[in-house]
């Protein structure tokens, strides 16, 4: 006898799945009980950590990760993390349990209205009309997640798994889906014409260009035309080598400064992101007068929300490689921009340590292939300045902005690609949104170096409140012991009490990062005040 569960497990095997990320609930037990030996259940202690870890794993492997969530409670807990997965372009196949189909009309305990619970963030949602259609729905979810770069949800009533299915009938879903990849076509000539006609072009890159082929194509293009390159604001990943001499920095997040940065350019070519992401609203025009904008992205949603004169839906690597071969070389390339940051001296004895000094110590020691996961909002500009991404996937953050992504995502990134060292830089406030993820990191041998910058408060929120002329109405939480929490969750941890101790520990640990099979958390007290500028 072949059941829906058997057939679905066969689909997952065909897709190369060897693990399921989840936190179990009763409606999922018919699927999870007696899970075969070739499929590992990776446990996280909260659904946000489940999805965060799976997101990191999907980004590391480049293939969809499979997530199991528990009806309304589990899916509801995971919505914020699913939104982050969507904006971070992480393909996920999400199996959501539902109450027994035979009495759903009566809305029994644990029944959920699940098809709209995650809002617009899934790339596809389905609750199959018949139990027999579940395997085909899972196969389609795999293709939808891979194609659109986001979570695809299949809601499965718990009794569906035991329903018999006739394997000779096949599945109403293709085994393999190929996306046609024609030559970029006339759009390349159109964009090349715009670049050739521009007196002072500039490039803006985003997370959609974070792969080796796109980096190589963009470097060829920039070297040919001599243009500066800016990174999108609040990007999930780097779209260009940030140690390249033409890398100019990260775009400002408000209109006034954005206009200032782009002033003097007559064409902005935006690749792998939308034009242009902002944060706090400011009145006035978005762009300076005289600036034309062309956007190239594989994501149609990015194209349609861009302030652009021309939008081209295309694979960034393919398009930019063709573009570099057609655009005219500049006789006088733009001058190279120095990128070496000013030295950061260590603290004077007795002074508090700043996050910037931690970054500077790391900058002297981290290898070029490190995967740096960031969730330290108050010190992110200094992190960008001192720790540039030097390899694809060298920087990973939560483009959606919600906290709780970095800690489990770092574990998933290491689990998905053990060949790359992974370092997560987290604020203590950020870490507390997903601190239970340390248990999973330890349990599954994810050799991440977690550095928690502890100032006992939400420093970025306090700074924003001060800009509005107010004082924070919430208390500090200096009594929280991240070091102790980590140890209680089975994660090795050390509390760092001085800059000298930090340097000694980094000298000991960083050379081991590539081969580590257990996580290590460093709890580093830092000043809550911004780093003093020269």
Can you tell me the distance from the alpha carbon of 352 to that of 529, in angstroms, rounded to the nearest whole number? 10
CATH assignment, 186-326? 3.40.50.1220
Query: What does the pLDDT read at residue 347?
Result: 84
Can you tell me the distance from the alpha carbon of 291 to that of 297, in angstroms, rounded to the nearest whole number? 19
Can you tell me the distance from the alpha carbon of 405 to that of 418, in angstroms, rounded to the nearest whole number? 19
Q: What are the two backbone dihedrals, phi and then psi, of residue 332, each rounded to the nearest 5 degrees? A: -125, 90
CATH assignment, 355-525? 3.40.50.970
In the chain, pLDDT over 90 holds for what percent of residues? 75
Residues 337 and 513 sit within 8 Å (Cβ to Cβ): no
Residue 22, beta-bridge partner list:
43, 68
Residue 40, beta-bridge partner list:
19
ω into residue 276 within 30 of 0, thus cis? yes
Q: Does residue 334 carry a pLDDT above 60?
A: no
* Tally of CB atoms within 10 A around 413: 27
* Average pLDDT along the chain: 91
Greatest C-alpha distance within the chain? 75
Identify the sign of the CA torsion 107, 109, 111, 112: positive
How many CA atoms lie within 13 Å of 424's alpha carbon, on the beta-carbon side? 37
Q: What are the two backbone dihedrals, phi and then psi, of residue 524, each rounded to the nearest 5 degrees? A: -115, 105
Q: Does residue 333 carry a pLDDT above 80?
A: no
Residues 136 and 8 sit within 8 Å (Cβ to Cβ): no
Q: Tell me the CA distances in angstroms from 160 to 15, 132, 163, 218, 441, one per residue in order.
A: 21, 8, 5, 49, 33
What are the pLDDT digits (tens) for 383-424? Answer: 999 999 999 999 999 888 788 999 999 999 999 999 999 999
Fold of the 4-169 domain:
Rossmann fold (3.40.50)
Residues 446 and 519 sit within 8 Å (Cβ to Cβ): yes
Helix (H) or strand (E) holding 489: none
Helix (H) or strand (E) holding 292: strand 292-297
String of DSSP letters for 411-463: HHHHHH-TTS-EEEEEEHHHHTTSTTHHHHHHHTT---EEEEEE-SS-HHHHH
The residue written with tokens 């060298």 in the block is 394
* Tally of CB atoms within 10 A around 225: 23
What are the pLDDT digits (tens) for 418-445? Answer: 999 999 999 999 999 999 999 999 999 9
Domains 4-169 and 186-326 share a fold: yes
Per DSSP, the chain holds a count of helices (H) and strands (E) of 18, 18
What are the pLDDT digits (tens) for 25-51? Answer: 999 999 999 999 999 999 999 999 999
Query: What does the pLDDT read at residue 338?
Result: 54
How many CA atoms lie within 13 Å of 20's alpha carbon, on the beta-carbon side? 24
Q: What are the two backbone dihedrals, phi and then psi, of residue 521, each rounded to the nearest 5 degrees? A: -110, 130
Query: What does the pLDDT read at residue 335?
Result: 57
Can you tell me the distance from the alpha carbon of 331 to that of 246, in angstroms, rounded to the nearest whole number? 17
Q: What are the two backbone dihedrals, phi and then psi, of residue 422, each rounded to the nearest 5 degrees? A: -125, 130
**More confident site: 57 or 378:** 57
What are the b/e assignments for 162-192, b being 16+ CB within 10 Å? ebebeeeeebebeeeeeeeeeebeebbeebb
Q: Which token pair is 263?
A: 């002033």
Q: Does residue 96 carry a pLDDT above 80?
A: yes
Nearest Cα to Cα of residue 268 among 205, 318, 316, 328: 205
Question: What burial class does residue 278 get, using C-beta atoms within 10 Å of its C-beta: 0-12 exposed, 13-18 middle, 19+ buried?
Answer: middle
Residues 6+ apart with CB under 8 A from 2: 164, 165, 166, 167
Can you tell me the distance from the alpha carbon of 6 to that of 3, in angstroms, rounded to the nearest whole number? 5
pLDDT band at 336 (very low <50, low <70, confident <90, very high): low
What are the pLDDT digits (tens) for 301-326? Answer: 888 888 898 989 899 999 999 999 99
Query: What does the pLDDT read at residue 180?
Result: 59
Give domain limits for the chain.
4-169, 186-326, 355-525
Q: Which token pair is 359?
A: 């970054």
What are the pLDDT digits (tens) for 475-510? Answer: 888 899 999 999 999 999 999 999 999 999 999 999
Residues 6+ apart with CB under 8 A from 85: 51, 54, 55, 58, 92, 121, 150, 151
| Three-state secondary-structure class, residue 228 | coil
Ranking 119-128, 136-145, 327-336 by mean pLDDT, the lowest is 327-336
Helix axes 186-197 and 316-326, enclosed angle (nearest 10)? 60
């Amino acid at each position: 006898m072949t059941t829906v569960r058997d057939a679905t497990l066969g689909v997952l095997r065909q897709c190369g799945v060897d693990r399921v990320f989840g936190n179990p609930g009763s409606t999922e037990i018919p699927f999870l009980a007696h899970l075969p030996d070739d499929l590992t259940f990776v446990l996280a202690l909260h659904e946000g950590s489940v999805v965060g870890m799976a997101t990191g794993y999907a980004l590391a492997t480049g293939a969809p990760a499979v997530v199991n969530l528990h009806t309304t409670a589990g899916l509801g807990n995971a919505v914020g993390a699913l939104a982050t997965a969507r904006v971070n372009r992480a393909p996920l196949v999400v199996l959501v349990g539902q109450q027994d189909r035979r009495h759903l009309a009566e809305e029994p305990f644990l029944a959920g209205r699940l098809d709209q619970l995650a809002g617009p963030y899934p790339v596809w949602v389905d609750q199959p009309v018949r139990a027999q259609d579940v395997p085909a729905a899972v196969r389609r979810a795999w293709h939808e997640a891979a194609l659109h770069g986001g979570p695809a949800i299949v809601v499965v009533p718990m009794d569906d798994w035991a329903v018999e299915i006739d394997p000779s009938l096949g599945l109403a879903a293709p085994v393999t889906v190929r996306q046609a990849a024609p030559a970029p076509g006339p759009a390349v000539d159109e964009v090349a014409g715009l670049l050739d006609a521009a007196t002072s072009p500039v490039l803006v890159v985003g997370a959609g260009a974070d792969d080796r082929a796109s980096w190589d194509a963009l470097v060829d293009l920039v070297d040919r035309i001599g243009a500066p390159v800016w990174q999108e604001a609040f990007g999930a990943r780097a779209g260009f080598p940030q140690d390249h001499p033409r890398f100019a920095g990260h775009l400002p997040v408000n209109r006034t400064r954005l206009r200032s940065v782009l002033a003097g350019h007559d064409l902005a070519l935006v690749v792998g992101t939308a034009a242009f992401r902002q944060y706090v609203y400011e009145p006035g025009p978005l762009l300076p007068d005289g600036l034309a904008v062309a956007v190239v992205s594989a994501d149609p949603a990015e194209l349609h929300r861009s302030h652009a004169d021309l939008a081209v839906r295309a694979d960034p690597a393919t398009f930019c490689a063709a573009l570099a071969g057609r655009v005219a070389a500049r006789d006088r390339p733009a001058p190279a921009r120095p990128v070496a940051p000013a030295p950061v001296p260590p603290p004077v004895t007795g002074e508090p340590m700043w996050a910037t000094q931690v970054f500077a110590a790391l900058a002297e020691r981290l290898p070029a292939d490190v995967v740096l996961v960031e969730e330290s909002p108050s010190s992110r500009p200094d992190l960008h300045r001192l720790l540039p991404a030097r390899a694809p996937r060298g920087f990973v953050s939560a483009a959606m902005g919600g906290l709780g992504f970095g800690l489990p995502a770092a574990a998933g990134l290491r689990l998905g690609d053990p060949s790359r060292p992974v370092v997560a830089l987290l604020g203590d406030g950020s870490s507390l949104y997903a601190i239970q993820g340390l248990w999973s990191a330890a349990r599954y041998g994810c050799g991440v170096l977690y550095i928690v910058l502890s100032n006992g408060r939400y420093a970025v929120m306090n700074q924003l409140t001060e800009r509005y002329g107010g004082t924070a109405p919430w208390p500090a939480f200096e009594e929280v012991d991240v070091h102790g929490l980590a140890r209680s969750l089975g994660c090795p941890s050390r509390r760092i009490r001085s800059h000298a101790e930090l340097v000694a520990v980094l000298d000991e640990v960083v050379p081991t990062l590539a081969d580590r099979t257990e996580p290590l958390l460093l709890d580093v007290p830092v000043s809550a005040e911004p780093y003093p500028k020269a």
